[in-house]
Amino acid sequence: MHWLKLIGSILVAWSTLLNPLSVQAETDEQYQIVATVGMIEDVARTVAGDRAEVIGLMGSGVDPHLYKPTRSDIRRLMGADVIFYNGLLLEGKMADSLIRAATGGKKVHAVTELLDEQYLLEPEEFEGLYDPHVWMDPDAWSRTIDVIRDKLTEFDAEGADSYKRNAEAYSARLSELDAYAERVLSSVPESQRVLVTAHDAFNYFGRRFGYEVVGIQGLSTESEAGVRDIENLVDLLVARNIGAVFVESTVSDRNIKALIAGAKARGHTVVIGGELYSDAMGGAGTYEGTYIGMIDHNVTTIARALGGMAPARGMNGKLHK
């Protein structure tokens, strides 16, 4: 097994050893949850309701592949009652901090732990490692609700009914989101269902909704695209008559601009179809700063840019124009 893959196993082992199956909160006061990325923070806050304070470490525009915890992050982790992280090595540079928290008796849980390995994508270039971007498939991401509900119930048994109600309501909203995404994305002509983005964050999205996904960089933004990679993608854009490509909120648009320039030199016009949220959500306090808003924005932006039918302001009429 690749040594990096061992990190997740170590965290799971420590959490299992140190965290009993039923641990009840000792006080009626709010306890504290720390989540690594915004997508997890949003689920945790929704399920926990007013029983816990939820703190996210990485905000809008932050790339979790490259993120290194600060001293204040370490303090937050060590002061938390419950910690949720994505796993699948998304937070690769936080591994030591998460292990330290687990060995220190903190309750540390990967929200992807209920996903079957048969579901997970294992790209050839990352043999032995899984693609961590599972939130791009709303149906799969709904499994994280179950993990968070169960782990919060283990910690705070008195809140079980509240967590169950909140989880059921949120699961229903994600089902609506998934249905909306399927409907508007299927309105794009089949020949145009090619999603070209800055890095490979959309493969679960592509599999769920029947899109070919091409990322200039690999799964991690630590990888770099070469000149030949750009040239090959220009060939694809021209040959397939693809008219739109997409930038990402957490990744430099340098490579996307190189693609557009390369296509123009070949007599083919390509435009930026919009900015997508990949590894982080929108700004705090905005609709796009929620998981549902993030996916609604992506789906609506992609469908409209590639010739499909979608309302300008999305599923709930809340998207910013």
Q: How far apart are CA 219 and CA 203, in angstroms?
A: 9
Question: Is 155 a domain residue?
Answer: yes
Count up the domains in the chain and report the number. 2
Q: Which two tokens stand for residue 196?
A: 């070209």
229 and 195 in a single domain? The answer is yes
DSSP labels, 185-247: HTTS-GGG-EEEEEES--HHHHHHHT-EEEEEE-SSTTS---HHHHHHHHHHHHHHT--EEEE
User: Does residue 253 sit in the same domain as residue 134?
Assistant: no
Domain match, 142 and 244 both: no
- The answer to whether position 314 is within a domain reads no
Model pLDDT, residue 232: 84
In tens, the pLDDT along 167-207 reads 999 999 999 999 999 999 999 999 999 999 877 789 999 99
List, for residues 230-240, the tens digit of each pLDDT value.
888 889 899 99
Same structural domain for residues 192 and 298?
yes
pLDDT at 219: 45
pLDDT of 26 strictly over 50: no
Is 315 part of any domain?
A: no
The domain in which residue 65 lies consists of: 5-20+29-180
Domain end point (choices 180, 195, 223): 180
**Is 64 contained in some domain?**
yes
Tell me: do 288 and 172 sit in the same domain. Answer: no
**Model pLDDT, residue 22:** 39
Residue 180 contacts residue 296 (beta carbons within 8 Å):
yes
What local confidence, expressed as pLDDT, does residue 11 receive?
Answer: 54
Both 44 and 126 in one domain: the answer is yes
Position 310 in a domain? no
| Residue matched to tokens 């924005």 | 297
- Residue 120 resides in a domain: yes
**127 shares its domain with 16:** yes
CA-wise closest residue to 42 among 297, 290, 292: 290
Q: Are 51 and 28 in contact (CB under 8 A)?
A: no
Final residue before a domain boundary, out of 163, 180, 197:
180
Element (H, E) at 174: helix 160-185
Higher pLDDT, residue 79 or 250: 79
- Chain-wide mean pLDDT for the chain? 88
Task: Write down which residue in 155, 180, 205 finishes a domain.
Answer: 180
